[in-house]
């Protein structure tokens, strides 16, 4: 049962493979955490529950990365094939880092902060970790 999974990154990424973007919520003060925190940084309570995010939000900050890490180079990214990463502010309030598709990474000057986005759940490649991703509407 989803609610009983421990509040940690393994559970968060397990949910992601089930196409669910999950935050943790403090039962005492209702503060929402994404990434999920096990201990409330506001009231210091540790009674947390999982809450599913609707996955709608807007681009708060972004970059088009030409010089990537070895992981993204293996994906086929390089100077001629950059990718967009960004910070997304969800309608529910929390912000999270994610890979952004549907924007032209070769023309980053055309990308606008504030662009509406929805969560997407790319198919996970064999042996590769999954990651938070959003798509421009």
Q: By the criterion CB under 5 A, which residues form the site for Zn ion?
A: 26, 28-29, 31, 40, 42-43, 45
131 binds another protein (CB under 8 A): yes
CB of 70 to another protein, least distance (A): 5
| Interaction residues for another protein, span 34-73 (CB under 8 A) | 35, 60-73
Give dist(CA 50, CA 40) in Å, integer.
13
Residue 106: burial class (beta carbons within 10 Å; 0-12, 13-18, 19+): exposed
Which one-letter DSSP state was computed for residue 123?
A: P
> Is the sign of the CA dihedral 92, 95, 98, 103 positive or negative?
positive
124 binds another protein (CB under 8 A): no
Question: CB under 5 to 8 A by kind: which of another protein, Zn ion, none does 136 bind?
Answer: none
Q: Which residues lie closer than 8 Å to 97 by C-beta, 6 or more apart?
A: 85, 86, 87, 88, 132
Question: CB under 5 to 8 A by kind: which of another protein, Zn ion, none does 73 bind?
Answer: another protein
Whether the Cβ atoms of residue 74 and residue 126 lie closer than 8 Å to each other: no
14 binds another protein (CB under 8 A): no
CB of 30 to Zn ion, least distance (A): 7
| Interaction residues for another protein, span 67-96 (CB under 8 A) | 67-73, 77, 79, 82-83, 85-87, 94-96
Q: Give the number of residues in contact with another protein, rule: CB under 8 A.
A: 39
CA 121 to chain centre: 10
CB of 49 to another protein, least distance (A): 19
Give dist(CA 105, CA 67) in Å, integer.
13
């Amino acid at each position: 049962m989803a609610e009983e999974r421990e509040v940690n990154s393994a559970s968060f990424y397990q949910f992601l493979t089930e196409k669910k973007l999950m935050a943790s919520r403090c039962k005492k003060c209702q503060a929402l955490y994404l990434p999920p925190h096990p201990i409330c940084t506001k009231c210091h309570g540790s009674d947390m529950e999982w809450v599913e995010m609707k996955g709608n939000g807007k681009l708060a900050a972004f970059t088009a990365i030409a010089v990537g890490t070895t992981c993204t180079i293996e994906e086929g990214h390089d100077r001629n094939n950059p990718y967009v990463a960004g910070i997304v502010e969800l309608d529910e309030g929390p912000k999270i880092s994610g890979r952004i598709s549907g924007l032209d990474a070769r023309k980053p000057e055309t990308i606008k902060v504030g662009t509406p986005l929805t969560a997407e759940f790319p198919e996970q490649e064999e042996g590769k970790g999954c990651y938070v991703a959003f798509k421009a509407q």
